[in-house]
Amino acid sequence: MKIKLKELRQIIKEELAILREGIKFKNTKNFEKFLKEIDSMSEFDIKKIMGKDYIDTPGGYTEEKGDYAGIEDYMISNMGKQDFNKLKQYWLKNVKK
């Protein structure tokens, strides 16, 4: 049985969609918990979930949390207010339930 290239591309596209669907952020109800979740994830895993919407986050909050009022303060200080707001909008649009 021969598979045409177009059919193979469609099969791959569908399989990737299935894989991506299984990979999601867990904290859908609390933004602060979401920040702690992504802080503990690898950049690779975050990119897998966010895809083209990826926003670089600093990581390392656990080690430095004593120097900040909380994780939101840490994120804003280390990624900037503009990127932090983009991340919050991403969560509101794509993660929050």
pLDDT (tens digit, 0 to 9) for every residue of the chain, 97 residues total? 677 888 888 888 777 766 655 678 999 999 999 999 999 999 988 998 998 999 999 999 999 999 999 999 999 999 999 999 999 999 999 999 8
φ/ψ region of 23 (left if φ > 0, alpha if ψ in -120 to 50, else beta) reads: beta
CA angle 43, 44, 49 (to 5 degrees): 95
27 CA to centre of own chain: 11
Does the pTM surpass 0.85? The reply is: no
**What local confidence, expressed as pLDDT, does residue 27 receive?**
93
**What local confidence, expressed as pLDDT, does residue 21 receive?**
59
Would you state the structure tokens that stand for residue 13, as one six-digit string? 């596209």
Angle at which helices 31-39 and 71-79 cross, to 10°? 60
Q: Give me the residue label for tokens 């656990």.
A: 62
